[in-house]
C-alpha cells in the first residue's frame, strides 16, 4: 500500500471512529432517558409496546486484589504473572 493510500485509509478510519463515538454517545443518552423514567416511576421493569425494559440491581462479589496485595504481598507476587499483548493506536 502506498503512503497516499495509507493516509487515506487512516483518515477514513478516523471519520468512522468519530461517527461511532457520536452513535455511542446517542445510545448512552437514550439509555439514560429510559433509566431516568424507570427511576422516577420506581420500577425495575417497564413495558412499552412490544418491548420490556429492565433496570435491575445485580449483586456480585469481587476479589479485592489491592487489599490482598497489602496484606499478603509475597503470595500476591507468587501468583502474579506477566502477560504480553499488542495495542493499536494512531495519533
DSSP codes joined into one string, 33-73:
HHHHHHHHHT-SEEEETTEEEE----------HHHHHHH-H
Give pLDDT, residue 45: 96
> What's the pTM value of the predicted model, to 2 decimals?
0.74
pLDDT in tens, 50-80: 999 999 999 999 999 999 999 999 999 999 9
pLDDT in tens, 3-25: 999 999 999 999 999 999 999 99
Amino acid at each position: 500500500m502506498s503512503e497516499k493510500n495509507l493516509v487515506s485509509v487512516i483518515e477514513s478510519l478516523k471519520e468512522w471512529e468519530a461517527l461511532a463515538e457520536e452513535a455511542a454517545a446517542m445510545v448512552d443518552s437514550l439509555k439514560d432517558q429510559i433509566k431516568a423514567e424507570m427511576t422516577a416511576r420506581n420500577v425495575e421493569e417497564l413495558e412499552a409496546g412490544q418491548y420490556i425494559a429492565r433496570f435491575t440491581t445485580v449483586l456480585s462479589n469481587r476479589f479485592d486484589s489491592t487489599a490482598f496485595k497489602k496484606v499478603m504481598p509475597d503470595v500476591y507476587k507468587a501468583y502474579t504473572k506477566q502477560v504480553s499483548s499488542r495495542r493499536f493506536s494512531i495519533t
